Amino acid sequence: MKKLRNMNPAVRTNFLTYAAVLLAFAILQPMSMAGKLSPTLQGQLVPVCAYVVMALSLNLTVGVLGELSLGHAGFMSVGAFSGAVAASALQNAIPSAWLRLTVAMLIGALFAGMVGTLISVPVLRLNGDYLAIVTLAFGQIIKSIVENLYVGVDGKGLHMSFLQPTVKLGEGGRMILNGPMGIPNISKISTFLAGFVLIMVTLAVIFNLVNSRSGRAIMALRDNRIAAESVGINVTKYKMMAFVISAALAGAAGALFALGQNTIVASKFDFNTSILILVYVVLGGQGKMWGSILAASFLTILPETAMMRDLRDYRMLAYAIVLILVMLATNSPVLKNFFGKLLRGKDEAKKGGVK
């Protein structure tokens, strides 16, 4: 315990974050295996993991890089559809569900990263709030593209058509993605264990990035772009680095999410979903990774709890009020002081870093 106290505050927080996630997994996984969890919670394990990774990756853009992104669900969508199409197409080639899920997540991350690179090249050269507006538009564009995309697979490989379902498939061919109807028959291969591993990988990527030379450059850009530029930091390069990593992680989360659902449609990943994830980040605290994990799990599980379900028509109203209360409470100086006293010594956590 003493050793923990004397640690560098940033390292200590990182360590505690890993430990908390591990602990949560160590408690939930045996319960899940033994069937002790309620059916609702059991069904939410994978989506919660996906939303946690989404919140963490957005926190990299919003909290660490300091740019507002309103189209994060777009990256999730790219990852979800590319990952699910890949998993479906590789059904026979890779019989092992584990391997298929890993490949699907990697493909999801790759595609989302590519799309992230593509849009960041022109966008990140701009200053100010333009990024927020363009990412907003980007989310809509992705939705429209996926809604008009038809993908089928036969013996010869993947076939695509755009706007009209004119895919010509050979013997034994089948449609995977049906435009606006999405993918109706996903075989669920995502597991809670996979979700846990993805969260740990995401944390490792983000913590290592933030504590590296590049990470310090990214945070310098956030704190004062002009000063950072004047000491020779390449603005576009470091902004892009954070943005693309964030997009790729969101893509992996999208693949995890999609492969834990029976069906996905493009309209699922709309503006509302982007805002929802932004809410997780803001509520948990910008730059605070443990906050994002907590907020994402809490806010995903909350509306589905038996207590909230019993409120019937007033469920979403109560949800909104809880949200406001949490916002007020976390910003109240009284409560801040109270928690500060509880965790004395911790409140000196260095400013500006990942807290």
Partner 1 sequence: MKKRIFALTMAAVMTVGLLSGCGGGATETKAPSPEGNGAAAIKIGGVGPLTGGAAIYGNAAARGAEIAKDEINAANPDGLQIELRYEDDAHDAEKSVNAYNTLKGWGMQVFLGSVTSTPGVATSVEANNDHVFYLTPSASSTDVLGGVANPLTGTVDIQRKDNVFQMCFVDPNQGSASAQYITDQNLGSKIAVIYKNDDVYSTGVYNSFDAKAKELGLNVVSVTTFTEDTKTDFSVQLSDAKNAGADLVFLPMYYDAAALIFTQANAMGYAPKWFGIDGMDGILGVEGFDTSLAEGVMLLTPFNADAEDEATKNFVKTYQDKYSEVPNQFAADAYDCVYAIYEALNKAGITADMSAGDICDKLMSEFTSMTFNGLTGEGMTWDDTGAVTKSPKGMVIQNGAYVGMD
Chain residues that interact with partner 1, rule: CB under 8 A = 38-40, 42-44, 47, 140, 144, 147-148, 150, 152, 165, 167, 169, 172-175, 178-182, 184-185, 261-268, 304, 306, 309-318, 321-322, 324-325, 328-329, 332-334
User: What minimum distance in Å lies between the beta carbon of 180 and partner 1?
Assistant: 4
Instruction: Please name which of 350, 119, 81 lies closest in space to residue 246, comparing C-alpha atoms.
Output: 119
In Å, the largest CA–CA distance within the chain is 70
User: What minimum distance in Å lies between the beta carbon of 223 and partner 1?
Assistant: 28
User: What minimum distance in Å lies between the beta carbon of 304 and partner 1?
Assistant: 5
Quick one: 214 or 267, whose CB is closer to partner 1? 267
Quick one: 226 or 306, whose CB is closer to partner 1? 306
User: What minimum distance in Å lies between the beta carbon of 301 and partner 1?
Assistant: 10
Quick one: 128 or 155, whose CB is closer to partner 1? 155
Quick one: 72 or 268, whose CB is closer to partner 1? 268
- How far from 31 is each of 20, 194, 320, CA to CA, in Å? 17, 16, 30
User: What minimum distance in Å lies between the beta carbon of 114 and partner 1?
Assistant: 25
User: What minimum distance in Å lies between the beta carbon of 318 and partner 1?
Assistant: 7
Quick one: 223 or 339, whose CB is closer to partner 1? 339
User: What minimum distance in Å lies between the beta carbon of 99 and partner 1?
Assistant: 23
Quick one: 167 or 219, whose CB is closer to partner 1? 167
Quick one: 206 or 256, whose CB is closer to partner 1? 256
SS (H, E, C) the chain: CHHHHHCCHHHHHHHHHHHHHHHHHHHHHHHHHCCCCCHHHHHHHHHHHHHHHHHHHHHHHHHHCCCCCCCHHHHHHHHHHHHHHHHHHCCCCCCCHHHHHHHHHHHHHHHHHHHHHHHHHHHCCCCCCHHHHHHHHHHHHHHHHHHCEEEEEECCEEEEEECCCCCCCCCCCEEEEEHHHCECCCCCCCCHHHHHHHHHHHHHHHHHHHCCHHHHHHHHHHHCHHHHHHCCCCHHHHHHHHHHHHHHHHHHHHHHHHCCCCCECHHHHCHHHHHHHHHHHHHHCCCCHHHHHHHHHHHHHHHHCHHHHCCHHHHHHHHHHHHHHHHHHHHCHHHHHHHHHHCCCHHHCCCCCCC
User: What minimum distance in Å lies between the beta carbon of 338 and partner 1?
Assistant: 12
User: What minimum distance in Å lies between the beta carbon of 200 and partner 1?
Assistant: 24
Quick one: 39 or 232, whose CB is closer to partner 1? 39
Quick one: 18 or 319, whose CB is closer to partner 1? 319
137: which residues sit within 8 A by CB, 6+ positions away? 71
